[in-house]
């Protein structure tokens, strides 16, 4: 379990905190998506959590171990994948994995076997004799995943893990993250790719200008209170626009009308629209509602937060 409590991180006295009073919990077996614009504070939160930089205030605990007060104990429980992996360039991947495993007290034989297994798993088995300076960004990302898994930790901090990966890599990582979840691990997954977050995360935390704007369950995205109504009319004319514009903002394309910004109305409005159109002799061939996606919800949320 990852517990971030009232975390604040300032880089300078005069500047706005990069992260301000942020509290999050990632439960065991849960994927928490972490969404925000560039500079929102996602990477800073992950770097503080990983023990790379110190928090200005607040704490981060992994299964009860504080990353500042008990750095060694907490770090044993973390797998970290950075946004832009940067490793010692003149070393071969397996040697570096064995080096990292040494910090976890894993024997050379065990770490060598596990390292080979992981490098094969992440698709680098054909590149074991190359030094890391010869690796592409995508290969480094795959290597950083192997490095994160070397000690089989309970908690993962994944910072923009999908950036720099090819479609096959994205699918592999998505499946891997879901397998972590099945194993009961806690995953904090930061990403710009909102559709990817939407497809794997159990909850999504939206951060803007260092502050947590809101956390939403993936299931709740279907009932965020925001939706559009699509109406199909077989005999459309200007009168349809006049009727529908009473309910919200209307966009028309042939016989298809999309009504958005239905503030203050619930999904029951479709019956009302249907009745009114039929009473005016229009032939309604279809009418349905659609919830806004994460992207629309995200932009609306950070708009609220600004």
Partner 1 sequence: MNPILFDLKRSILSKSFIAILVMMLALSSLVGYFIKKITGVSASGNVISQEILFLTAIAIILGIFIPILGLLMGYFYYGKDRLTSVLESVMVQPVTKMRILLSRFVVGVLAVGVAALITIVVMDGFAVSYMNFSMPLDFIASLVAAYFVEAAFFVGIMILLAHVVKTPTALLSLLIVIFLLLDMFYTTIVQIVIFAINPSNISTFMLDSYIVNPTYYSLITSYVFTKEISVSVYTVVAAGLIWTIVPVSLALYLGHIRD
Instruction: Please tell me whether residue 50 binds partner 1 under the rule CB under 8 A.
Output: yes
Candidate residues 16, 71, 130, 246; the one interacting with partner 1 per rule CB under 8 A:
71
Largest separation between any pair of C-alpha atoms in the chain: 80
**Distance, CA of 123 to CA of 178 (rounded, Å):** 18
Alpha-carbon distances of 106 from 102, 114, 115, rounded to whole Å: 6, 10, 11
122 to 151: interface string for partner 1, x by CB under 8 A:
----------------------x--x----
Q: Dihedrals φ, ψ of 139, to 5°?
A: -65, -40
Instruction: Please spell the DSSP secondary structure of 112-132, one letter per residue.
Output: HHHHHHHHHHTT-GGGTTS-G
212 to 251: interface string for partner 1, x by CB under 8 A:
----------------------------------------
Q: What is the dihedral of CA 238, 243, 248, 253, to 10 degrees?
A: -30
Q: 155 or 208: whose CB is closer to partner 1?
A: 155
Closest approach, Cβ 81 to partner 1, in A, equals 10
Candidate residues 3, 5, 76, 293; the one interacting with partner 1 per rule CB under 8 A:
76
Q: 78 or 269: whose CB is closer to partner 1?
A: 78
Q: 26 or 250: whose CB is closer to partner 1?
A: 26
- Angle at which helices 108-121 and 137-149 cross, to 10°: 140
Closest approach, Cβ 9 to partner 1, in A, equals 9
* Token pair belonging to 260: 């958005």
Instruction: Please tell me whether residue 75 binds partner 1 under the rule CB under 8 A.
Output: yes
**Distance, CA of 154 to CA of 180 (rounded, Å):** 9
SS (H, E, C) 220-243: HHHHCCCEEEEEEECCCCHHHHHH
Contact 40, 117 (CB under 8 A): no
Instruction: Please tell me whether residue 73 binds partner 1 under the rule CB under 8 A.
Output: yes
- Parallel/antiparallel/unpaired status of strands 227-233 and 249-253: unpaired
85 to 124: interface string for partner 1, x by CB under 8 A:
xxxxxxx---x--xxx-xxx---x--x-------------
Candidate residues 16, 23, 39, 53; the one interacting with partner 1 per rule CB under 8 A:
53
Closest approach, Cβ 13 to partner 1, in A, equals 14
Instruction: Please tell me whether residue 14 binds partner 1 under the rule CB under 8 A.
Output: no
Catalog residues that contact partner 1 under the rule CB under 8 A.
47, 50-54, 71-73, 75-76, 78, 80, 82, 84-91, 95, 98-100, 102-104, 108, 111, 144, 147
């Amino acid at each position: 379990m990852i517990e971030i409590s009232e975390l604040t991180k300032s880089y300078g006295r005069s500047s706005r905190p990069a992260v301000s009073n942020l509290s999050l919990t990632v439960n065991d077996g849960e994927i928490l998506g972490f969404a925000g614009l560039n500079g929102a504070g996602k990477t800073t939160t992950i770097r503080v959590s990983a023990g790379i930089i110190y928090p200005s205030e607040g704490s981060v605990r992994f299964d009860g171990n504080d990353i500042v007060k008990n750095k060694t104990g907490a770090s044993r429980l973390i797998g970290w994948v950075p946004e832009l992996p940067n490793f010692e360039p003149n070393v071969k991947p397996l040697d570096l994995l064995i080096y990292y495993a040494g910090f976890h007290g894993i024997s050379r034989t065990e770490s060598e076997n596990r390292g080979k297994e992981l490098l094969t798993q992440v698709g680098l088995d054909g590149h074991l004799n190359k030094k890391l300076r010869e690796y592409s960004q995508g290969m480094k990302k795959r290597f950083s995943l192997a490095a994160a898994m070397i000690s089989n930790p309970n908690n993962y901090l994944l910072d923009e893990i999908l950036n720099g990966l090819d479609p096959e890599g994205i699918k592999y990582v998505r499946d891997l993250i879901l397998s972590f979840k099945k194993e009961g691990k806690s995953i904090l997954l930061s990403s710009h790719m909102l559709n990817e977050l939407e497809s794997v995360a159990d909850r999504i935390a939206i951060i803007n200008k260092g502050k947590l704007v809101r956390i939403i369950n993936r299931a709740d995205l279907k009932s965020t209170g925001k939706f559009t109504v699509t109406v199909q009319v077989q005999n459309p004319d200007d009168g349809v626009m006049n009727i529908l514009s009473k309910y919200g903002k209307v966009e028309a394309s042939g016989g298809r009308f999309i009504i958005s910004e239905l503030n203050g109305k619930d999904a029951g409005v479709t019956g009302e629209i249907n009745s009114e159109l039929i009473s005016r002799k229009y032939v309604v061939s279809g009418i349905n509602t659609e919830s806004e996606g994460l992207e629309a919800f995200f932009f609306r949320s950070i708009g609220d937060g600004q």
